[in-house]
Amino acid sequence: MKYSTLKHLFILFFLFTFAKGYSQDSAYVRKTINQLTSKKFWGRGYTKDGMGKASDFLAAEYEKIGLLPIGKNYKQEFTYPVNTFPGKMFVEVNGKKLLPGKDFIVNNESPSLNKRIKLRKIDSVLYDGGPNLQVVLKDKLTWSVASEVSPTTRIEISRKFFKEKPDSIKVDIEHKFVSNFKAANVIGYVKGTKHPDSILMITAHYDHLGGMGAETFFPGANDNAAGVATLLSLAKYYAENPQPYSIGFICFAGEEAGLLGSRYFTENPLIFLGKIKFLINLDLVGTGESGMTVVNASIYPKAFSILNQVNQESGLISKINSRGKAANSDHYFFTEKGVPAFFFYTQGGIAAYHDVFDKPETLPLTEYNDLFRLIVNFNKIILNN
Ligand SMILES: [Zn+2]
């Protein structure tokens, strides 16, 4: 009895010690994704102070990790106009109430509308509801962020979840245009031991689409809680293992509104951009069943070949696809200013994108461990080349 208890304790001790390496990072990443996608942060957007709360959470996390601040309390503030939906979000079609996010979305440029009308069919997907209302049938609902308001309220209905032909509609929707929404990039770094003036920058946007009405928010697990959580786990690693050069971290705001945070940073840099020797941007990295893609791979062929070499040597990601220049995430304005940058995103597994189904519980995180090791090993080589 005594011996077997000891043996068990010994095995437990061993398992615990072994488990500490990479799996501890996965647990931290899972936990962080669950936090960032929770109701508290309301889709890290424009209502219920979701984005503001997320930026406070990140600054506190940076401090806990031990990053040095750049900016005031790690923050660089900026403003931009945005159309928001803080209140009523009621749509009834053929006498049946539709569920926001799942059955329908309101086009992000829409103004407030309170109306009940019989619809007029234009074609197989478009219905007219008078001068200020349009109804469109869609196979996939994809929401986004608008910085202006159109004269027409546009309701997009999912054909997958609402299979009837719309005949009559009742709409009661409230919008609020905010001309100077306050957002903040969150910036910190680990000082280099030999060449603190050379910086390797890791970036990920933490904003998402926010909420649509008072009851519905878009969690944005893959887009981009996964990228932010990966960035934070790398920050933890580098805080414990400082490198000869500095490692910087930026969580950008306003990406979904048009790369606004990264554009603002490159136009108002808090560090000289020439000091950034390489930048890795992470956006949509929570999958990986079909490998990953590197934007700017063909712009920086030498760095891309190092990346492939590192990947093959350690047997990490199943497939790394190469892409050219693309203005599709926060690396873009850095590249335009001459900062060498890669943007990594993973593929396969789930199809949720800019919808209410981008949830933490269905996010596979297939390649998290491999991606973490790929970035650490790549970074070791890239600054010496
Ligand atoms: Zn994104």
pLDDT in tens, the chain (385 residues): 444 444 454 444 444 433 344 445 889 999 999 999 999 999 999 999 999 999 999 999 999 999 999 999 999 999 999 999 999 999 999 999 999 999 999 999 999 999 999 999 999 999 999 999 999 999 999 999 999 999 999 999 999 999 999 999 999 999 999 999 999 999 999 999 999 999 999 999 999 999 999 999 999 999 999 999 999 999 999 999 999 999 999 999 999 999 999 999 999 999 999 999 999 999 999 999 999 999 999 999 999 999 999 999 999 999 999 999 999 999 999 999 999 999 999 999 888 999 999 999 999 999 999 999 999 999 999 987 7
CA of 343 to the centre of ligand 1 (A): 11
Provide the strand spans (E) within the chain. Answer: 68-69, 75-84, 89-93, 96-97, 104-106, 113-118, 120-121, 126-128, 133-138, 153-158, 168-173, 176-190, 195-205, 245-252, 276-282, 292-295, 320-322, 341-346
Ligand 1: centre distance to CA 16 (Å): 35
Q: Please tell me the distance between residue 21's alpha carbon and the centre of ligand 1 in angstroms.
A: 29
DSSP characters over 136-177: EEESS------SS--SSEEEEEETTT--SPP-EEEEEE--EE
**Alpha carbon of 264 to ligand 1 centroid (Å):** 17
CA of 142 to the centre of ligand 1 (A): 13
Tell me how far the alpha carbon of residue 365 lies from the centroid of ligand 1, in angstroms: 16
Domain ranges of the chain: 24-83+179-382, 88-173
| Cα 270 to middle of ligand 1, angstroms | 23
**262: CA distance to ligand 1 center in Å?**
12
Q: In angstroms, what is the span from residue 23 Cα to ligand 1's centroid? A: 25
pLDDT of residue 25: 81
The Cα–Cα gap between 341 and 332 comes to 8
CA of 256 to the centre of ligand 1 (A): 6
**Distance, CA 139 to ligand 1 centroid (Å)?**
21
CA of 249 to the centre of ligand 1 (A): 17
Nearest-angstrom CA–CA distance, 61 and 77: 18
Report CA(5)–ligand 1 centroid distance (Å).
50
Q: Considering only the top CATH level, what class is 24-83+179-382? A: alpha beta
What pLDDT sits at residue 286?
Answer: 96
| CA of residue 217 to ligand 1 center, whole Å | 16
Whole-number pLDDT of residue 11: 44
Distance from the alpha carbon of residue 283 to the mean position of ligand 1, in angstroms:
5
Distance from chain centroid for Cα 105:
20
Q: State in Å: Cα 193 to ligand 1 middle.
A: 33
Q: How far is the CA of 374 from the centre of ligand 1 (A)?
A: 21
**Residues 354, 358, 364, 366, Cα dihedral to 10°:** 20
Distance between Cα 345 and ligand 1 center (Å): 10
Q: How many angstroms is it from 132 CA to the middle of ligand 1?
A: 31
Peptide bond before 83: cis, by omega within 30 degrees of 0? no
CA of 60 to the centre of ligand 1 (A): 22
**Per-residue pLDDT at 46:** 98
In the structure encoding, which two tokens stand for residue 60, read together? 């506190």
* C-alpha to C-alpha distance for 56 and 60, rounded to whole angstroms: 6
Dist. CA 282 → ligand 1 center (Å) = 9
State the distance from the centre of ligand 1 to the C-alpha of 134, rounded, in angstroms. Answer: 28
Contact 168, 94 (CB under 8 A): yes
Q: Is the dihedral of CA 97, 99, 103, 106 positive or negative?
A: positive
Find the 133 Cα to ligand 1 centroid distance in Å: 30
pLDDT at 383: 82
